[in-house]
Amino acid sequence: MGDPSRRLLLLSNGHGEDLSGSLIGQELQQLGLEVVALPLVGHGGAYRQAGLPVLGRTREFSTGGLGYTSFGGRLTELVQGQATYLLSQLVLFFREARHCAAVVVVGDVIPVLAAWCSRRPVITYLVAYSSHYEGRLRLPWPCGSCLRSGRFLRVFSRDAFTAADLSHQLGRPVDFLGNPFLDRVLEGTPPLDRQEAGSPIPRLGLLPGSRLPEALRNFELMLQVLTRLPADLQTSSGLHLDAALVGAIDAATVARISRPLGWHLEPEGRLLRGQLELRLHWGKFPAVVQQADLLLAMTGTATEQAVGLGKPVVQLAGGGPQFSPNFAEAQRRLLGPSLFSAEGEPGSERSLAGTAELVGEVLRQLRHTDLGERCRHNGLERIGGPGGAARMAGQILQALDEPSVPLQ
């Protein structure tokens, strides 16, 4: 263990939170600080990928830590032992926090309360909360009291509207510095195989998600939507189709789930059905999002990243546990006019056909209206520009260097 006065503990409670935490952590390392991470949900893959030490033995749960979106999810968490696991992680947190200069929270009320109880200086990024949901943020008890405490050196919000709302509610400055998760999708990446400079053919990117088995079910629904697209979009000269897939959805799995739906997998990741051609991409998520004109998405953080890039997004609600109709509806309130959604129960003909029709309508609006400009403006307003992680890291270092902060 290094110098405790330069050691920070990142505490997060979700996969998207881990991603933002890892990006902040990398920036803090570049400023000369030692950073360790403690994810309360899942294995902390984003931290490991970023080369940040992850404390303790981690576990993954089928709800992805998002069981609060449904009663069934809560029951599943209890059966799988997530409550017991969370307690064990919190015990580890209190033990490790004593040896750190400060705690950096990325998440919601649970890590906020834990950080307050640790009696260490705290900096928090409230990525899970936004005033856009209801017009005025109702922080769960006792989150507000914790955030008013002098132990919280800085409070960052996920959008400007929330920063203004919370500054008024808490009687202290709450800053919006951007969202670190946007930085990951802006990373330099080679173009997709079929990229044609200046091509008038629109591109539709598919984002089925990353957590199995939900992502597989999502991908099946998306394949059904594609077969219902307007006739003029069902050829490679009418629409380019690209899917961003995680490694767990390998080619063999794609072939198995797509064959009953009439698709055939060709070499080099080409999925064919009649005149439809869908290109499959692994490890090229940034390229798929950057180069798409429109996204068809069933994701949380990835959809926010797409909106941050100024892209319109058509939602397709599924059976959950994450991307359920309730989650999709909340996401529309969060991200505003960049999102479009058809009506109908998940998997119903009304939903599938309506989504396919909506894809055609949004592409038409992109060609003939100012929709693209409106989405770019909305992305800046709701997500912010790039560089959020670096700005937060700079503020964290400044807070630690203030004379009143105990560093031992």
Three-point CA angle 300, 334, 240, nearest 5°: 50
Residue 68 in this model has a pLDDT that exceeds 60? no
* CA–CA dist 322, 62 (Å, integer): 10
Of 60, 157, 71, 146, residue with least CA distance to 109: 146
- Say whether pTM exceeds 0.85: yes
What's the confidence (pLDDT) of residue 96? 94
Q: How confident is residue 75, by pLDDT bands cut at 50, 70 and 90?
A: very low
Cross-strand partners of 54:
37
**Helical segments of 171-246, H only:** 181-185, 214-226
Residue 405 in this model has a pLDDT that exceeds 60? no
Cross-strand partners of 42:
59
Q: Is the dihedral of CA 387, 389, 391, 393 positive or negative?
A: negative
Q: Which structural domains are found in the chain, ordered by start?
A: 4-180+387-401 (3.40.50.2000), 188-382 (3.40.50.2000)
Q: Rounded mean pLDDT of 72-101?
A: 76
**DSSP state letter for 328:** H
Question: Between 325-335 and 371-382, two packed helices, what is the crossing angle to 10 degrees?
Answer: 90
Residue 407 in this model has a pLDDT that exceeds 80? no
* CA–CA dist 52, 46 (Å, integer): 9
Upstream peptide bond of 213 is cis (omega within 30 degrees of 0)? yes
* CA–CA dist 249, 37 (Å, integer): 28
Would you state the structure tokens that stand for residue 385, as one six-digit string? 């520009």
Of 5, 10, 99, residue with least CA distance to 48: 10
253 touches 269 (CB < 8 A): no
Average pLDDT, the chain: 90
**pLDDT tens readout for residues 23-44:** 999 999 999 999 999 999 888 8
**pLDDT tens readout for residues 334-360:** 999 999 999 999 999 999 999 999 999
Upstream peptide bond of 267 is cis (omega within 30 degrees of 0)? no
Q: Rounded mean pLDDT of 141-154?
A: 95
Please state, for a pLDDT cut of 70, what percent of the chain lies above it. 90
Residues 6+ apart with CB under 8 A from 353: 228
Of 4, 3, 21, 25, residue with least CA distance to 12: 21
* CA–CA dist 374, 296 (Å, integer): 18
* CA–CA dist 66, 68 (Å, integer): 5
38 touches 9 (CB < 8 A): yes
**DSSP state letter for 46:** H
Q: Rounded mean pLDDT of 322-341?
A: 94
Q: Show the beta-strand stretches assigned E in 74-137.
A: 102-106, 122-126
In angstroms, the first-to-last Cα distance of the chain is 14
* CA–CA dist 69, 76 (Å, integer): 12
Cα separations in angstroms, 291 against 190, 205, 357, 388: 11, 8, 22, 22
Of 50, 55, 23, 62, residue with least CA distance to 40: 55
